[in-house]
Amino acid sequence: MAELSTVDTQETEADRIVTALIHRVGDRVRKARERKGIPRRVLSEISGVSPRYLAQLEAGEGNISIGLLQRIAIALDHRIEWLMGEDDPWSSDALRVADLFRAAGSDVQQAVLRTLLPEPEETMRAHRICLIGLRGAGKSTLGALAGEALGVPFVELNREIEAQSGMPVEEVMALYGPEGYRKLEAQALSRVITRHDRMILAVAGGIVAEPETYTKLLAHFHTIWVRTSPDEHMSRVRAQGDERPMAGNPEAMEQLKSILTSREALYEKAVAQLDTSGKTVDRSRDELLALIAERKLLP
């Protein structure tokens, strides 16, 4: 009987430990989701875990598998051990530092990164090139041509977002709004950095307005601002069959010029610029390849 009592006691203690772990994981998933402002429905879409299962998990009632928990951790941009560890991450200084970093200006963020990551910038950027600038400048066209000429992968970040979300970017924006899109954009950038040491990337024009994401981009890529005149921006977009920039909006050109002016200082943080105004695609491609060779961005 004594042996039976010992076994029963051990099983009871083990059950308590497991129950405590389930509650701890659920509580941390809920807090992480709420701090990032992600609705449960959106987390379900990103992670592939059903809303019902997420609700059970956050309530401490879901005995989730390691595989599903890993999906949730990736969707929340956290390490899986962070969700399971016994130490309370919310009471540490790390969380406060992360919040301060997100709220800081780009210059402060860059200084912090240089302090925490003394690794030379050239090493961090590896052989990655990113083309930034407004739509219509030629990023996608030139990026694809340069990638083919140099034998390196060319990736459009919006295509990564679509693959992750399972829907076109326009639907992502309509369903989740700009905030949801920016979260997916940041996650897609992290995945691209992890997967590629040598590549050419093209990103949406508005990424520069998201300080944390843009700081990460500048740290891990040799950035080139592909630019052109406002008139050519507009005409090239319309030539692609998109009438939205002008349709029913007589002030569209003034708005475009305003956007260019407001982002100019951000785009100028790029290590180089390529002006495609009044140039053929072939000439712009050759100038981009020459620029890459001159700066030794892809040795």
> Do 274 and 207 belong to one domain?
yes
Three-state DSSP state, 273: strand
**Dist CA 96 CA 292 (whole Å):** 40
Predicted local confidence at residue 253, as pLDDT: 75
> Do 14 and 116 belong to one domain?
no
Which of the four pLDDT bands, split at 50, 70 and 90, describes residue 6?
Answer: low
> Do 86 and 224 belong to one domain?
no
DSSP classification of residue 206 = G
| Cβ 106 vs Cβ 215: under 8 Å | yes
Residue 219 exposed, middle or buried by CB count within 10 Å (0-12, 13-18, 19+): middle
Give the residue from 44, 64, 91 where a domain finishes: 91
Query: Does any domain span residue 133?
Result: yes
> Do 71 and 125 belong to one domain?
no
pLDDT at 199 over 90: yes
Radius of gyration of the chain (CA): 24
Three-state DSSP state, 280: coil
255: CATH: 3.40.50.300
> Do 112 and 239 belong to one domain?
yes
In this structure, which amino acid lies at residue 75? A
Highest mean pLDDT among 174-178, 179-183, 230-234, 287-291: 287-291
Q: For 202, list phi and psi in degrees, rounded to 5.
A: -120, 135
DSSP classification of residue 297 = S
| Cβ 239 vs Cβ 152: under 8 Å | no
Q: Which of 45-49, 50-54, 140-144 has the lowest mean pLDDT?
A: 45-49
DSSP string, 93-161: HHHHHHHHHHHS-HHHHHHHHHHH--S-HHHHHTEEEEEES-TTSSHHHHHHHHHHHHT--EEEHHHHH
| Of 99, 123, 124, nearest in space to 216 by CA | 124
Query: Does any domain span residue 118?
Result: yes
Predicted local confidence at residue 165, as pLDDT: 87
Three-state DSSP state, 119: coil
| Of 260, 237, 259, 261, nearest in space to 247 by CA | 237
C-alpha distances (whole Å) from 199 to each of 158, 212, 254, 287 are: 16, 21, 35, 18
Q: Please give the residue that has the higher pLDDT: either 7 or 186.
A: 186
The model's pLDDT over 129-140, given as tens digits with 9 standing for 90+, comes to: 999 998 888 999
> Do 119 and 87 belong to one domain?
no
The model's pLDDT over 256-282, given as tens digits with 9 standing for 90+, comes to: 777 888 888 899 999 999 999 989 999
Query: Does any domain span residue 186?
Result: yes
> Do 24 and 48 belong to one domain?
yes
**Dist CA 199 CA 193 (whole Å):** 9
Number of domains within the chain: 2
Query: Does any domain span residue 263?
Result: yes
**Dist CA 187 CA 74 (whole Å):** 8
Q: Where are the beta strands (DSSP E) in the chain?
A: 127-132, 154-156, 198-202, 222-227, 272-275
Helix axes 66-75, 51-58, angle to 10 degrees: 90
In this structure, which amino acid lies at residue 277? S
104: left (phi over 0), alpha (psi -120 to 50) or beta: beta
Query: Does any domain span residue 213?
Result: yes
The domain in which residue 81 lies consists of 2-91
Predicted local confidence at residue 283, as pLDDT: 96
Mean pLDDT score, 241-249: 49
Q: Which of 101-110, 153-162, 210-219 has the lowest mean pLDDT?
A: 101-110
> Do 143 and 250 belong to one domain?
yes
C-alpha distances (whole Å) from 29 to each of 34, 54, 59, 139, 245 are: 9, 9, 10, 38, 40
Query: Does any domain span residue 113?
Result: yes
Q: Residues near 143 by Cβ (< 8 Å), separated by ≥ 6?
A: 131, 154, 156, 200, 201, 202
